[in-house]
A and B are shown apart, each in its own frame.
Chain A
Amino acid sequence: MFRKYLVAVGAALAMGVVGVSGGAMAKVEGDTIILGSALSFTGKYAANGFHTQKGYDFAANRINEMGGVKVGGKSYKIAVKYYDDESQGSRAAQLAERLINQDGVEFMLGPYSTGMTKAIAPVTEKYKIPMVEAEGASRALFTQGYKYMFAVLSTSEFYLAPILDLVAERARAEGKSPSDIRIGMAFEGDGFSLDVKAGVVDVAKKHNMKIVIDDMLPADLSDMSATLTKFKALKPDVLLVSGHDKGAATAARQMEEMQIQAPYVGITHCEASKMPEKFPKGATGVLCPTQWLPGIPNKDNYFGNASKFNQDVLEAYPEYKDIPYQLTQAAAAVLVFKDAFERANSFDKDAVRDALAATDMDTFYGSIKFAPEGNNIAKPMFYRQIDANGKYQPVVSSDNIKIRNVAY
Chain B
Amino acid sequence: MFELLFVTAPIMNVQVLLEGVFIGSVFALSAYGLALIWGVMNVKNLAQGDFVIMGGYAAFSVSNAGVHPIFAIPVVIAFMFCFGWITYKLIIKRVIDNDMFVSLLATFGLSLFLQQVMNLIFGPEVQTLDSHFGILLLGDFVTVPKIKIISLLIAAFFATVVVLFMKKSRMGQAIRATAQDARAARVLGINTDRVYAFTFALNASICGVAGVLVSMIWSIQPFYGIIFSLRTFAIVTAAGLGNLPGVIGMSFVLGWFEQYAGVLAGAEWQIAASVFVLIFVLLWRQLQARRHRQVVR
B14 to chain A, nearest CB (A): 10
Tell me if B191 counts as interface (CB < 8 A to partner A).
no
Q: Is the CB of A234 within 8 A of B4?
A: yes
Q: Is the CB of B267 within 8 A of A258?
A: no
Alpha-carbon distance A408/B143, docked complex (angstroms): 11
Q: Is the CB of B135 within 8 A of A259?
A: yes
Q: Is the CB of A222 within 8 A of B219?
A: yes
Q: Is the CB of A216 within 8 A of B219?
A: no
Tell me if A371 counts as interface (CB < 8 A to partner B).
no
Alpha-carbon distance A170/B214, docked complex (angstroms): 40
How many A residues have CB within 8 A of the partner chain?
A: 38
How many B residues have CB within 8 A of the partner chain?
A: 40
Q: Which of chain B's residues has its CB closest to A214's CB?
A: B266
Q: Is the CB of B224 within 8 A of A220?
A: yes
Known: A220-B223, A226-B263. A259 touches B143 (CB 8 A): yes
Alpha-carbon distance A259/B9, docked complex (angstroms): 17
Known: A229-B12, A230-B1, A257-B143. A224 touches B224 (CB 8 A): no
Q: Is the CB of A226 within 8 A of B259?
A: yes
Q: Which of chain B's residues has its CB closest to A213's CB?
A: B266
Of the residues A217, A226, A234, A249, contact of B219 by C-beta under 8 Å: A249
Q: Is the CB of A218 within 8 A of B268?
A: yes
Tell me if A233 counts as interface (CB < 8 A to partner B).
yes
A25 to chain B, nearest CB (A): 37
Q: Is the CB of B259 within 8 A of A225?
A: yes
Known: A225-B259, A226-B16. A246 touches B270 (CB 8 A): no
B122 to chain A, nearest CB (A): 12
Tell me if A227 counts as interface (CB < 8 A to partner B).
yes
Tell me if B241 counts as interface (CB < 8 A to partner A).
no
Tell me if A172 counts as interface (CB < 8 A to partner B).
no
Tell me if A24 counts as interface (CB < 8 A to partner B).
no
Of the residues B137, B224, B263, B271, contact of A229 by C-beta under 8 Å: B263
Q: Which of chain B's residues has its CB closest to A212's CB?
A: B4
Known: A226-B16, A257-B135. A186 touches B267 (CB 8 A): yes
Taken residue by residue from 239 to 254, chain A's Cβ proximity to chain B (1 for < 8 Å, 0 otherwise) reads as 0000001100110010
Alpha-carbon distance A279/B1, docked complex (angstroms): 30
Known: A246-B126, A253-B219, A273-B126. A44 touches B119 (CB 8 A): yes
Alpha-carbon distance A45/B227, docked complex (angstroms): 22
Q: Is the CB of B218 within 8 A of A223?
A: yes
Chain B residues 45-73 with CB under 8 Å of chain A are none
Q: Is the CB of A250 within 8 A of B219?
A: yes
B288 to chain A, nearest CB (A): 32
The 6 closest A-B pairs by CB, nearest first: A226-B262, A44-B124, A216-B268, A222-B218, A233-B9, A246-B126
- The 15 listed contacts between A and B (C-beta, < 8 Å) are A215-B268, A216-B266, A216-B268, A217-B267, A220-B223, A222-B227, A223-B218, A225-B19, A225-B262, A226-B16, A226-B267, A230-B1, A230-B4, A233-B12, A245-B125
B interface, CB within 8 angstroms of A: 1, 4, 8-9, 12, 15-16, 19, 23, 119, 123-126, 128, 130, 135, 137, 141, 143, 145, 214, 218-221, 223-224, 226-227, 258-259, 261-263, 266-268, 270-271
Q: A258-B143, A259-B135 are in contact. List 15 more A-B contacts (CB 8 A).
A: A215-B266, A216-B266, A220-B221, A226-B270, A229-B15, A229-B16, A230-B263, A233-B141, A245-B125, A246-B221, A250-B218, A257-B143, A257-B145, A259-B143, A272-B125
A interface, CB within 8 angstroms of B: 43-47, 186, 189, 214-218, 220, 222-227, 229-230, 232-234, 245-246, 249-250, 253, 256-259, 272-273, 278-279, 408
